[in-house]
Amino acid sequence: MTAASGTAQDGRSGAAGETRSGTAGDARSGTEREAQAPTWPQEFAERYRAAGWWRGETFGGVLRERAAAHPDRIAVVDPATDRRWTYGELDARADRLAAGMVARGITAGDRVVVQLPNIAEFFEVVFALFRIGALPVFALPAHRETEITYFCRFTEAAAYVIAAEHGGYDYRTLAAKVRAEVPALRHVWVAQGEPGEFEALADVPTEAVDPAAPVDPAERLDLAGPAPHDLAFLQLSGGSTGVPKLIPRTHDDYIYSLWGSNELCGVDENSVYLCALPAAHNFPLSSPGTLGALYAGARVVLCPQPAPETAFPLIEAEGVTLTGLVPPLALLWTEAAATTTHDLSSLDVLLVGGAKFSEEAARRVRPALGCTLQQVFGMAEGLVNYTRLDDPEETIVSTQGRPISPDDEIRVVDDEDNDLPVGATGHLLTRGPYTIRGYWNAPEHNARSFTADGFYRTGDIVRLTPTGHLVVEGRAKDQINRGGEKIAAEEIENHLLAHPAVHDANVVGEPDPYLGERTCAYVILKAGAEPLRPVAVKRFVRERGLAAYKVPDRVEFVAAFPRTGVGKISKKDLRTHAGTRPDTP
Ligand code: OOB
């Protein structure tokens, strides 16, 4: 990794010449920390600070400032429970929860797996952790035993935060399994609903919440709090390998992506952001998302689920001005808008991203919803591109935008990393002030995913237009993008190979009119094995404790896989074949 002996300083770090990335205040050497979370070389850190991109703020500090400036303004609306928290209240809640977590042994640098639906406590928890300098690990509500156990084990998590139930699923049962498998997990906190055998989050704070009397844990508990260049949290990578990788983001870099997004999406203190996608995902979190809205002093409205029947009444009632959707939902919303009785006229901007939005679908947004479409092509690793609100309609519907920052470096290269001329299609590499220099604790993987000089290999195939806009043409990574939900083929192949009757398996994406892509598993059974039905294979994968979206949509049994000239399995040929056969039970 190139991220040399990190020496970024902002005057708050402990030993001069060392970053504290990942582990505020820990006693390990800079080299050890660097191996855990590679960071920007000093010359880049200095450049990004000098340019004003890194403002030297932390999430805890930002919330404190907003609460001081306008304590009574509404920060978070949770319609499912009819709660409206002001900035003052959110700030006080975060303080008290931080104090309680510290009293239970959570310290700076600890990892805490947060798996919450779109409820107000999501913000109370993550801001409490930000204040302590502990790192939320952002799991999705769809994750199950396999994923959560892995996150808890791999990050050596100190705690796991859930809601008792959501979407008909009991997360306490999941937590019991996870705790049995990961004894090092010290706490399971239940943020909403009956805690069962675990502790209710409401019992963690050391004092009752009194919004009128904010406390400062930094003073009371002698917490230094994180420095702006410290890690703030770990995001999940969509990934293309057997296990998901974790993405270390700092306060400085992520906060830049927030205010940079706010400027391009027109977010100010009068904005109302509807969080319709799962709050923990990078898109609704930061593009400009809930955290962008809170940075601006705006209002966040939590949508329990993204169907038009739920979202449209909230848009009307709360005067929502912008929201973000993945393409299948954007399609659904444009269709539903034609017959809705709800007044959607407050909606100024609809952001669509996470997967390619087809030009035909993009053209329908403005006429159907009466708002400006903003395409967003982003990644949890960093780089985010937006079409601009004042781009010509043709650019808005036919490109995936251009980067947030003038310091985002974009390279489009061939298979040998040679730069290609503008207009040519190739691999997208990027480096910049909010794109990570390496995954968390993954040195071998980092050597493959980043160039020697620190460019991230996005795995996306793109072309640049003469105006500097990017058009996503495809993907080189072995991943299926199922309507914005990313599935690493290798991860599912490994699960299929665990079936006693399966000799070999390959998972590819095939076209789907609604999702864009769906997953197809090609399976070769062992010689002499009893015939299997596709449904049995799907059930087998599901019962291994995986998120439902990862269960193959279609399973096809074959005698052999197509091979390339040199004898390797040709996923390209499998993809071509996929979609030509109907599904069978
Ligand atoms: C967002 O983040 P991730 O980390 O779940 O997925 C990133 C990948 C990209 O590398 C690309 O393959 C795909 O998702 N993607 C798109 C896209 N937006 C993301 N592919 C085509 N067109 C688009 N507009 O998905 C994400 C993060 C922040 C903002 C928006 C999306």
Closest-lying ligand 1 atom to the alpha carbon of residue 477: 12
Q: Does ligand 1 come within 6 angstroms of the Cβ of 384?
A: yes
Q: Which of 226, 242, 269 is the C-terminal boundary of a domain?
A: 226
95 CA distance to ligand 1 centroid (A)? 33
Rounded Cα–Cα distance for residues 63 and 80 (Å): 24
Flag whether pLDDT at 19 surpasses 90: no
- Is it the case that residue 15 has pLDDT exceeding 80? no
Q: For residue 137, is pLDDT > 60?
A: yes
Q: Locate the ligand 1 atom nearest the alpha carbon of residue 327 and give its number.
A: 24
Does pLDDT of 28 surpass 70? no
CATH number at residue 152: 3.40.50.980
User: Of 7-11, 133-137, 268-272, 414-418, which range is least confident?
Assistant: 7-11
Spacing, Cα 379 to ligand 1 middle (Å)? 5
Q: Does the Cβ of 456 fall within 6 Å of ligand 1? A: no
Written as one letter, the residue type at 250 is T
Residue 258, ligand 1, Cβ within 6 A: no
pLDDT band for 36, please (50, 70, 90 cuts).
Answer: confident
**176 within domain boundaries:** yes
Distances (CA, A) of 411 to 238, 314, 356, 463: 21, 41, 20, 10
**378 within ligand 1 shell (Cβ under 6 A):** yes
CA 481 to centroid of ligand 1, rounded, Å:
9
- State the distance from the centre of ligand 1 to the C-alpha of 438, rounded, in angstroms: 18
Tell whether ligand 1 has an atom less than 6 A from the beta carbon of residue 138. no
Give the domain range for residue 526. Answer: 483-577
The per-residue pLDDT for range 343-366, each reduced to its tens digit, is: 999 999 999 999 999 999 999 999
Q: How far apart (Å, rounded) are the C-alpha atoms in residues 86 and 129? A: 19
Confidence of residue 240 (pLDDT cuts 50, 70, 90): confident
Question: Separation of 284 CA from ligand 1 center, angstroms?
Answer: 12
Question: Mind listing the pLDDT tens digit for each residue in 248-287?
Answer: 999 999 999 999 999 999 999 999 999 999 999 999 999 9
DSSP 289-346: HHHHHHHTT-EEEE-SS--HHHHHHHHHHHT--EEEE-HHHHHHHHHHHTT--S--TT
Instruction: Determine the distance separating the centroid of ligand 1 and the alpha carbon of 377, expressed in angstroms.
Output: 5
Take atom 16 of ligand 1 and give the residue whose Cα is closest.
Answer: 355
Domain count for the chain = 2
Mutate to test the pocket of ligand 1, among 235, 377, 470 (most ligand atoms within 8 A of CB): 377
pLDDT, position 577: 76
Q: Is 282 in the pocket of ligand 1 (CB under 6 A)?
A: yes
Rounded CA-CA distance 325/477 in Å is: 23
Predicted confidence (pLDDT) at residue 1 exceeds the cutoff of 50 = no
Check residue 222 and give its pLDDT. Answer: 56
* Residue 493 in domain: yes
Quick one: which atom of ligand 1 is closest to the CA of 400? 24
What are the tens digits of pLDDT across the range 46-79? Answer: 999 999 999 999 999 999 999 999 999 999 999 9
According to the model, what pLDDT value does residue 206 have? 77
The pLDDT of 492-511, averaged and rounded, is 97
2 pLDDT exceeds 70?
Answer: no
For residue 324, which atom of ligand 1 is closest to its CA?
A: 30
pLDDT (tens digit, 9 = 90+) per residue, 159-171?
Answer: 999 999 999 999 9
43 burial via Cβ count (<10 Å: 0-12, 13-18, 19+): exposed
Q: What is the pLDDT of residue 334?
A: 98
When mean pLDDT is compared across 18-27, 248-257, 550-559, the lowest value belongs to 18-27
Long-range CB contacts for residues 164-170, cutoff 8 Å, separation at least 24: 164/190, 164/192, 164/193, 164/194, 164/195, 164/196, 165/193, 166/117, 166/141, 167/117, 167/141, 167/305
- The whole-chain average pLDDT of the chain stands at 92
- Assess if residue 211 is contained within a domain: yes
- Banded model confidence at residue 401, pLDDT cuts 50, 70, 90: very high
In a domain, 442, yes or no: no
- Between CA 401 and CA 35 the distance in angstroms is 34
CA of 34 to the centre of ligand 1 (A): 27
Asked if residue 495 has its Cβ within 6 Å of ligand 1, the reply is no
Counting from 1 in the atom list of ligand 1, the atom nearest the Cα of 237 is: 4
Convert 213-274 into a string of H (helix), E (strand) and C (coil): CCCCHHHHCCCCCCCCCCEEEEEECCCCCCCCCEEEEEHHHHHHHHHHHHHHHCCCCCCEEE
Contacting residues for 573 by C-beta, under 8 A, at least 6 apart:
562
pLDDT digits (tens, 9 = 90+) for 198-231: 999 999 987 655 555 656 655 555 567 899 999 9
CA–centroid distance, 75 to ligand 1, in Å, is 27
Whether 139 contacts 150, CB under 8 Å: no
Tokens of 62: 């930002």
Host H or E run for residue 396: helix 393-398
- Domain assignment present for residue 383? The answer is no
Residue 475 and residue 493: Cα distance in Å, rounded?
Answer: 19
Residue 14 has pLDDT above 60, yes or no: no
pLDDT > 90: what percent of the chain?
Answer: 86
Which of 199, 226, 253 delimits the end of a domain? 226
Confidence of residue 239 (pLDDT cuts 50, 70, 90): confident
The vertex-300 CA angle with 296 and 305, nearest 5°, equals: 145
Does the C-beta of 375 come closer than 6 Å to ligand 1?
yes
Residue 509 lies in a domain: yes
**The 3-state secondary structure of 109-123, one letter per residue:** CCEEEEECCCCCHHH
Residue 295 pLDDT > 50, yes or no?
A: yes
Q: Mean per-residue pLDDT for 98-113?
A: 95
- For residue 570, the domain's CATH number is 3.30.300.30
Who wins on pLDDT, 29 or 409? 409
The answer to whether residue 539 scores a pLDDT higher than 60 is yes
Q: SS3 of 576, please?
A: helix
Examine the fold and report which residue of 226, 248, 269 is the final residue of a domain before the chain moves on. 226
Mean pLDDT within 477-488:
97
With a 6 Å cutoff on the Cβ, whether 379 touches ligand 1 is yes
Candidate from 245, 376, 379 with most ligand 1 atoms within 8 A of CB, to mutate: 379
Ligand 1 contact, 244 CB (< 6 A): no
Cα 484 to middle of ligand 1, angstroms: 7
CB of 469 shorter than 6 A to ligand 1:
no
Q: Answer whether residue 154 is part of any domain.
A: yes
The average pLDDT across 300-308 equals 97
* 337 band by pLDDT with thresholds 50, 70 and 90: very high
Question: Is residue 203 assigned to a domain?
Answer: yes
Q: Whose CA is nearest to atom 3 of ligand 1?
A: 379
Residue nearest to atom 2 of ligand 1 (CA): 379
